[in-house]
Structures are given as C-alpha cells and as structure tokens.
Amino acid sequence: MTAVTPVTRVRPTGPAKPKLELDPAVIRKARSLARKAGAPVVKLARTHTTVSVERAVLRLAGLSGADHEGVPWVNHLVDAVRAEVGLELGVTAPVFDALRRGEAPDLLTLAQKSAAGSVPFHLPQGRDSRAASSLALRSVKPGMARIDKNRATRDRLIKRHGNPKQRPWIYLIVATGDIYEDIPQAQTAAREGADVIAVIRSTGQSLLDFVPEGATREGYAGTYATQENFRLMRAALDEVSKELGRYIRLVNYASGLCMPEIATLAGLERLDMMLNDSMYGILFRDINPIRTFVDQRFSRQIHARAGIIINTGEDNYLTTADAVDAAHTVTVSQLMNEYFAKEAGLEDWQLGLGHAFEINPEIPDSFRMELAQALLARQLFPKAPLKWMPPTKHMTGDVFRGYLLDGFFNLVGAMTSQDILLVGMMTEAVLTPFLSDRDLALQNVRYVLSAAGGLTEDFHPPRDGFIQTRARRVLSQAVDLLEKIVNDTGEPGSVPLLQAISDGTFGLMKRPSDAGKGLDGVVKCAPGYDNPVSTLLEAGI
C-alpha cells in the first residue's frame, strides 16, 4: 500500500464553544433526573456480586491459565467455592482461609485441587476471618500495582512519542479472527493515519461465561479477547508508535458475561479504550440487567484506576429503533452512562459517550437533523471525548452511495468537534473490509478534515432555526422520558430504570430483570461480604 500524508486536523484539543442556545436549567434538570434514575441501580450494584466479579478478584491475585479443555482455573475455583459454601461473603474468605490452612501452597494448586474436588472450603470466623481477609488484600495489591504501573507507562510513552496533534482521533477497526493477521493490519492502519485501533471481538464471545486463554487464530467476524492477544497487540502498537512518533491507542470490548474480567485484563496489559456500555449487553445480548449493572460498576472502577477511556454504545439503539423518533433515548442513555461512569470514579476525559449517523438519508433534512443531534451531544458533554459512529443501518451495498454517506458523516464530525471518529467503510453490509477499502475510507476522512476541519469555528446555526429547534426538542423529550422513568412507581420495591428497560424503552428491546443470560451468576451480598479489590478501588474514588 502506498504511503500517504498523515491526516491534517484543524481543530485544537479542548472543549468546543457552545453552538446551541440551550436552557441551562433544562440541562441541570436532565442531569438531576439521571442521578435519581441511576441511584437505585447503583445501590443494587453495591449490594450484589457476580461470578465474574469474583473471578476478576482472583485474576488480580495472580491466578491465570486453564485446564486441558480450556476451562480457566478462576472458573474452577469460583465454582467450587460457590458449590460448597456460597459466594455471599465473597470468594476470597474461603479461598485464602484454605491457603492459610495449608490446603495448597498457592492459588494455582488450590484451583487444580478444587477442580478434582479434593479441597474442603469453610467460611472462617473471628480471627481466622480477619487473617484470611488480610492475606487476600496483600495478594491483590501486586495486581493493582501492575495496573497503576501501566497507567504511568502510558503517560510516559505519550510524553515521549506524542499524542495526535489535533482532534478527532481517527478510530479504525481490524478483525480477521487471527491475532497474527490482525497485527500487521493494525500497524499498516496506523501508518496510514489511524490513531486508535479497535480489535473487534469474535461473534458470540460476550455470551461465554469464561475468558479464553492464549493467542487465538480462529474467530468468527472478529478475534477472541484474551490476555495474550491483548499483550501481543499492545506490543505491536508500541513498536509502530515509536516508528511514527505518536502514541497509538488500543481498544477492545469489556462487555458481556465476563465484563469485569476483561476490564481487569485490559488494565493488566495496558489497553487504552474499552467498549463499556451500561445497557448494551442487556438490550442486544439478552444478558440479565442486574448481572450487567453489577459487572459494569466493577469494570468501570477498574477502568477509572487504569486510566482507560470507555466507549459507550448508544449508536446500537438506532439500529433497532428509528433514529428520528428515538433520538431522545440516545440522549437519555448518554446522561445515564455519564452518571454511572462518574459514580464509579471515571473522569470527564474518560467518557467516550457514543452516538451515530443513522437517520435514513431518504428523509428530507436528514443531514440537518444529524447535525443537530451531534451538536446537542457536543454541548451537553463539552469535556467528554465523544465517539461518533458512521452510518451502518442504511448502507445498502451500493459502495458509491456508501462512500458519499461516509463523507457526509465525516463532515458532521468536523463541524461539531467530535473527538473520536470511527472510520466508515463503503463496503459496510457487503463484506469484511479489505485493506484497500480501509485506505479509501481513510482518504475520505483525510480530505474532509483537511478541507473542512475549520468549519467548527465558522458554523453557528441561526437562532431559533431548524437545527436549534430540533436539538431543543430532543433534549425536552429526553427530560420528559427521564421524568417518566423516575416517577414510574411500578411494583413495590421495583427499580424504575429496570422497569423502563423491561418495558422496551431503549432500542425497542424488552428485557425483564428476572430473566436473561447470566442471572444464575448473580449473588446478593450478605453482611460481612469482603472484596479486597473493591476496597482498594473505593478508596481510590
């Protein structure tokens, strides 16, 4: 592939100036309602644990590897403890009590013996309980220290190699299924101008209740997320970062049934961004809502500690719901994602809130409505690195029309100061893109940002014109929906947001809180529940 001139970007980093004349009182009300809707969910997350949270704790204590059938040792150990004494007090009390009693010399041996059913687990009491808790805390500290060291390393490498000079960061996807094929594609994409490389996860991995081990060479429409694959790709991007003189960021997916574990592995291997939406798994993978919210809070605490930017998935709502009529549900989800993220310790610069260019292009004024929605997101979250997603739903297979739509998408991104711009492919809905397709897509981005990147300084929608009116209407509808959610009494003791999800409020998907995949992995915490990782993370917040 021929080398090309890097993307020229006009907009400097930093918050954009307001373009819409929105009522500050309405914005404050929207955030207040989001807090009220989210608080009961946070309480639920604080009072429950899951098998994946407990497995993540053991991973931070150093347990890794899998048996000859590929079942991770963390799964064996958590399952054995749960079967014998339950997880209501956490996995660490019985595990580290067993180590103190001499049942095994280390966690790996204990897990192996537990898989054979040869370890008796007990719930320690009094002094034994305190001793087990103390040993557990000491055991997870090296894992937390590694996450902290990786964050410092990232900061050092950014200082050495430099960030992209301007925004938006160009975000490009690779995913062959084979990590050893992904690596050269990712390096080539970086050389052609990409700043952020996302390795799409193999289809269906979100529904696996375990994390595969090792480097993988087979995946469907993506590559498995494993610790070794993370390590290999991070090393490859470090190599090309040094070559190019700018730090290339790596993205993967902290979602699905193993969200806490994958977030932990991302911290241990210095990933930079993670797809981590509060409702995506519920709506589009039918994962139990309580399981998702418990796992998401823990995973976001890990991301906060690791300095990882999250990317949320509001764009997905518009693949099932109408992008015009349901625009306000995107805004509501962004506000909810912001609340949940900040409650877990994430800062504004880590909130890659999502939205997308998904209005049917056949509708009159579709471009103006897309512009209004993008400006609304930009003004509501001025310090957040918004992630702007290209058209997918209305890509027909006509590559010429698709290339034009992607150009319009790039133009909206330039005009509204988006921060993370996912490169659209004209072969979307036709095939997995070739390297040549990516090159053409990057040419599209380069042209638009070079020719029109400065429009963010010049473009101001007329007062009370179409764009301002549309944005205000969407915000007003978002406030109305949040009020409806907060004021919905429902069944006694019900959580309003969970009821709204059950009713199909988001993405037209109805997901009751007492159903869905992974429900059997949710455990209500008993008095005395101990999680040494949560203790350290809460202290950090």
The catalytic residue among 315, 419, 437, 530 is 315
Helix boundaries (H) for 6-72: 24-46, 51-60
Q: What CA–CA distance (Å, rounded) separates 431 from 459? A: 36
**Under a CB-based contact definition with an 8 Å cutoff, are residues 211 and 229 in contact?**
no
The closest of 231, 155, 241, 242 to 190, measured between CA atoms, is: 241
The catalytic residue among 97, 253, 317, 387 is 387
Q: What angle do CA 339, 333, 487 make, to 5 degrees?
A: 80
Q: What CA–CA distance (Å, rounded) separates 288 from 468? A: 38
The catalytic residue among 171, 224, 253, 280 is 280
Respond yes or no: is residue 520 known to be catalytic.
Answer: no
Name the maximum alpha-carbon separation found in the chain.
74
Residues 6+ apart with CB under 8 A from 190: 197, 237, 240, 241, 244, 248
Q: What CA–CA distance (Å, rounded) separates 49 from 502? A: 21
Respond yes or no: is residue 315 known to be catalytic.
Answer: yes
Checking phi first, is residue 482 left (phi over 0); if not, alpha (psi -120 to 50) or beta? alpha
Q: What CA–CA distance (Å, rounded) separates 172 from 158? A: 19
Distances (CA, A) of 125 to 12, 49, 94, 135, 283: 59, 21, 10, 15, 42
Reduced to 3 states (helix: H, G, I; strand: E, B; else coil), residue 311 is strand
Other C-beta atoms lying within 10 Å of the C-beta of residue 208: 14
Respond yes or no: is residue 280 known to be catalytic.
Answer: yes
Rg (the chain; Cα; Å): 23
> Which residues does the annotation mark as catalytic?
280, 315, 387
